[in-house]
Amino acid sequence: MASSASRSQVPSMSRTLLLHIVCDARLEAGVTDYCTGILGAAVHIDDQPEEPLCTICGYLSVDEDTIDTVLSAATAYFAELATILHAEQPRLGHEVVADQDWEQNWKQHFTTFTAAPGLIIAPTWEIPEQGGDGAVIVMDPGMAFGTGHHQTTRLCLHFLHETINADTHRVLDVGAGTGILAMAAALYGAHRVTALDSDPEARAIARANIETNHLGGRVCVSECEVAEIDGEYDIVVANIVHDVLLMLAADLVRCTAPGGSLFLSGLAGEQQARSIVAGYGELGMKMVEVRADDQWYGVYLKK
């Protein structure tokens, strides 16, 4: 039997982990958010006859010795989400699967769709003709958060669509993920967009998506933290989570130009939306609108 010292020198094997998550339909968006945004999983939703339940399948590559850690963290997050939205805790199952064709199986669950007025999202294997019902963003999901399916992303897209005009010179996207909001802002007419994300992998994904969509002339991904950003922006958008939005409040307000707009989302429930309105109100931001999509909220503030 090998000693613990010799075992520790053996490299951990990468495995494809399949998560089976059965949850209240109200938790679908939050669970999917976690699987794609935090775990970097490829996700699809299975048909579920037992309404109001849904089954979410997530495929992710993990080191063999981290599987228990991944499952423990996911279970804790799902329990917290269920408490916030007053639902039963999701049932989490898992298995290690062969790598062979799961990617092709998953692709059939992500097809071209309209994410917001004038904006179509398409995977790279299903690119529609340009000049149809709107501008097209091409991307592959499953590696960073933001494909346009999630309610919080849709809320931000609608705010951007309704607000950007010919006088929108500078937009700042904080927590950019795949870069979808930054790219959408440019396609809606913003002259220059800066995207920030603290995750190096997300920044790489955003840069790749921006290049794929030929938007490098108007959208850049910065490695700066929001605290390091100089200057003011006509629009600042941040689709993160409640607690982080409160932590970043002073900097997000500082980056918003006088008369500028601040869009905040990632808020689970009305109570979190009220908390954000109150917290940012103390910094001089005026609430213009609080908008809901299912159990998720977005807040439109003005400086």
Q: Which two tokens stand for residue 96?
A: 């290690």
pLDDT of residue 192 exceeding 90, the answer is yes
Q: 103 vs 250, which has greater pLDDT? A: 250
Would you state the pLDDT for residue 4?
A: 32
Q: Where do the domains of the chain lie, and which CATH numbers do they carry?
A: 13-102 (3.30.70.260), 145-302 (3.40.50.150)
Tokens of residue 209, six digits? 């998506």
pLDDT score at 52: 81
pLDDT band at 8 (very low <50, low <70, confident <90, very high): very low
pLDDT at 7: 32
Select from 174, 166, 142 the least CA-distant residue to 263. 174
Q: Average of pLDDT values for 261-266?
A: 96
pLDDT interval class at 150 (50, 70, 90): confident
CB 22 within 8 A of CB 53: yes
Average pLDDT over residues 179-205: 93
Residue 64 has what pLDDT? 82
Tell me if 20 sits within 8 A of 96, measured CB to CB: no
What number is the average pLDDT over the span 170-189?
95
Note the pTM of the prediction, 2 decimals: 0.73
Using the predicted structure, report yes or no on whether residue 26 has a pLDDT greater than 70.
Answer: yes
Instruction: Please check the confidence at residue 180 and state whether its pLDDT lies above 60.
Output: yes
For the segment 259-267, the average pLDDT, to the nearest whole number, is 96
pLDDT at 97: 76
Contacts of 143 (CB under 8 A, 6+ apart): 40, 178, 201, 205
Give the pairing type, strands 170-174 and 233-239: parallel
Q: What percent of the chain has pLDDT over 90?
A: 53
> Distance (Å, rounded) from C-alpha 103 to C-alpha 300?
38
Tokens representing residue 278 in the block: 């109150």
Q: Which pLDDT tens digit goes with each residue over 35-90?
A: 876 787 777 776 555 568 888 888 887 888 889 999 999 999 999 999 988 999 99
Q: What confidence score (pLDDT) does residue 108 get?
A: 60
Burial 61-86 (b: 16+ CB within 10 A, else e): ebeeeeeeebbeebeebbeebbeebe
Which pLDDT band, with edges at 50, 70 and 90, does 143 fall under? Answer: very low
pLDDT of residue 177: 86
pLDDT at 106 over 80: no
Q: What is the mean pLDDT of residues 174-191?
A: 94
Tell the burial category of 22 from Cβ atoms under 10 Å away from its Cβ (0-12, 13-18, 19+). middle
Model confidence band, residue 289 (pLDDT cutoffs 50, 70, 90): very high
- Measured CA to CA, the distance from residue 188 to residue 243 in angstroms comes to 29
Question: In this prediction, what percent of the chain has a pLDDT beyond 70?
Answer: 84
- pLDDT for the residue 9: 41
For residue 140, pLDDT over 70 is answered with no
What's the chain's average pLDDT?
85
Give the model's pLDDT for residue 51.
Answer: 65
pLDDT band for position 123 (cuts 50, 70, 90): confident
